[in-house]
Amino acid sequence: MSQATSTIRPLLRTRQVREFTDEPVSPEAVDAIADAARWSGSSQNKQPWRFIVVRDDERLRALAALGLPSTRSLATAAAAIAIVMPTETDRAISDAFDEARAAERMLVAASMLGLGAGLGWVPSAVRDEFGAMLGLPSDRKVRSVIAIGHPTEAASRPKSPRGEARLPRNQTVFSERWPD
């Protein structure tokens, strides 16, 4: 492994975790993850997001149940951070881009803290109800939510055979021009 690859290893090690132990997560860790999100860059620095930290066990399980199977990582999470975005907007594409940047940062931050995190996509059919459970006004929605916790041993194991989790570099990264 090159020195460069080794330096960026926290990024390469960031994976989707969908099952967590009962071990609590410190408020400091959750705050740090939320800070990583709010410091994300956004189009024209609009910062269209707001974040709701959920730690209440009952609320976490209810949110999980609502969006199954997408939201299954919330079923065992110690905490979650919901990304609240504007509902109606002429900036739908850049908002989605901004949202994704914040989401990915939270996954990376959790991993760097020795935690696991998983992105849950709230299905559109239950999005209004999901928002209502978080007290959102009608001009706000939650489309993605980050579940956070200590990964179980099973969830920490590789999901694919070695070398198969991603397409190989020669099929995804090209030099100078599209390959013939």
Ligand X SMILES: Cc1cc2nc3c(=O)[nH]c(=O)nc-3n(C[C@H](O)[C@H](O)[C@H](O)COP(=O)(O)O)c2cc1C
Q: Which residues bind ligand X (CB under 6 A)?
A: 15-16, 18, 70, 73, 118-121, 159, 165
Q: Which is nearer to ligand X, 8 or 137 (CB)?
A: 8
Work out how close the CB of 12 gets to ligand X at its nearest, in angstroms, rounded to a whole number: 10
Q: Which is nearer to ligand X, 138 or 165 (CB)?
A: 165
φ, ψ for residue 137, nearest 5 deg: -70, 170
Work out how close the CB of 147 gets to ligand X at its nearest, in angstroms, rounded to a whole number: 9
Among candidate residues 131, 121, 149, 125, the one with its CA nearest the CA of residue 84: 131
Q: Which is nearer to ligand X, 53 or 100 (CB)?
A: 100
Q: What share of the chain is helix, strand, coil (3-state, %, to 5)?
A: 45, 20, 40
Work out how close the CB of 124 gets to ligand X at its nearest, in angstroms, rounded to a whole number: 12
Q: Which is nearer to ligand X, 18 or 150 (CB)?
A: 18
Among candidate residues 115, 42, 124, the one with its CA nearest the CA of residue 73: 115
| Angle (deg, nearest 10), helices 92-112 and 27-38 | 140
Work out how close the CB of 110 gets to ligand X at its nearest, in angstroms, rounded to a whole number: 13
